[in-house]
Structure formats: structure tokens, C-alpha cells
Amino acid sequence: MTIAANIENIRARLAAAASRAGRVESGIKLIAVSKTHPAEAIREAVAAGAMSFGENKVQEGESKIVELGRDFAEWHLIGPLQSNKARKAVQFFDVIHTVDSIELAQRLERICAEEGRETLAVLAQVNLTDDGRSGASPDRLSELAEVLHDCERLKFIGLMTLPPFFDDAEKTRPFFRQLRGEAERLAARGLFDAEPFELSMGMTNDFEVAIEEGTTMVRVGTAIFGEREYAAIH
């Protein structure tokens, strides 16, 4: 299957899932996760109509963005952001999905001011499993959300989560439902800078369940680009 055929297939599945959930397909953004895949694969995906791409690592994303052009597509950082990479993230990415601490939020806000960037869309990453992975715990989320809302340059648009992997996608449903509940509570307090808020949840194996639970951004990589090409990345 070509990248174009894969995108067509994913869009058909996305549309069908949206229809089952009584939702509008246009309310769900497909983010093609291009991590470990070369710039040429991104060119093929753009030619097939993809417009948004997700990268896990700032340095890898930077190299592709420099090669393809800052305005070639919409660039999303979907992997953990180390504080020493924050400046590059501000310079190169349109959306950061993985703000998981007050310290990182404040650092990004300061760097935006230093770089003359007026707005940067961000999501708070929430860890719903207490497994040591990246993400703010639910009991810390309220404080983080308040800080993000008070930032002048960061535009706090929603929440992101990465549930455990299950062969049975249905097992991810409680995590997606919980994230939506967390977002609804924050929205009721007026803490988001976007209406409606965004939910970044759902990947290749479970995005249809995520759509049924209200996601607005699905992050699909393997089903579009194939298996990751680690050997090609230096």
C-alpha cells in the first residue's frame, strides 16, 4: 500500500467512526505521525492531502522542517519536551502537545517573549496511569491548567494523553473517557483559551474508540507510513 492509499483508508475509517458517534468528520484532525520517517515520506503524505504532522523529538523534527520549510505543513510536537530543547520547540513547532509541568509552561512562556513569538498553541499532557511516564497527574492538572491559562503567549487549547497499549482497543476507552471528563471540568471553569477545547488522543490501534469518546486530534503513524524506520535516523 502506498502512503496515499493508506491516508485514504484512514480517512474513510475516521469518517465512519465519526458517523457512528454522531459527529462531524471535519471536527477531527488527522495528525500523521512522521517520527523516524524521512522528509520524502512527508512530501508524499502532503501530496495525498495530509496537512498536519507529528514529531516525537525536537531535533529530528527540526531537521525535517528545515529541509521542507516552516510553512510546508502544520508541525506538532507530540513527544516529551526536555527543558533544554524548549527554545527550538518554540522556534519550529506550531503546536506542542506535551506540556506536563508548571516549570515547562513558564519556560515556554519566557522563551516566546524572548523570541518575539506572540502565540504558541499548547496542550497539557495528562498521565492517567501513574506509571512514571510523561504527563501531569490528574491531581496536579488543575494547578497546571491555571498557570497555562494565565500565560499571555501560550494558548492553552486542550489536553493530551497516551494510554497503555492494548491489543483490544476497547480497553483504552476508560482512559479516553477520563481525559474528556478532566477537560470538561477545566472548561467549566473557563480555563481553556479555545472553544471548543481540543483532545489529543487516539493512535493507529485505537483512534476509532477515541473518536467515539470525543477526540479532536488523532495521531496516526504506522497505519500511514508503515513500520518505523529507526535505522534511517541518525
Q: Is 134 contained in some domain? A: yes
Q: Is 233 contained in some domain? A: no
Q: Is 177 contained in some domain? A: yes
Q: What is the pLDDT of residue 234?
A: 38
Distance of CA 171 to the CA centre of its chain: 21
Q: Is 14 contained in some domain? A: yes
Q: Is the peptide bond before 196 cis (omega within 30 degrees of 0)?
A: yes
Please state whether 214 falls in left (phi above 0), alpha (psi between -120 and 50) or beta.
left
C-alpha–C-alpha distance, residues 122 and 156, integer Å: 5
Q: Is 135 contained in some domain? A: yes
Distance of CA 115 to the CA centre of its chain: 23
Q: Is 232 contained in some domain? A: no
How many structural domains compose the chain? 1
Q: What is the pLDDT of residue 229?
A: 57
Structural domain boundaries, residue 81: 3-20+28-225
C-alpha–C-alpha distance, residues 149 and 31, integer Å: 25
Q: What is the pLDDT of residue 232?
A: 44
Q: Which residues of the chain have pLDDT under 50?
A: 231-234
Q: Is 230 contained in some domain? A: no
CATH of the domain at 52: 3.20.20.10
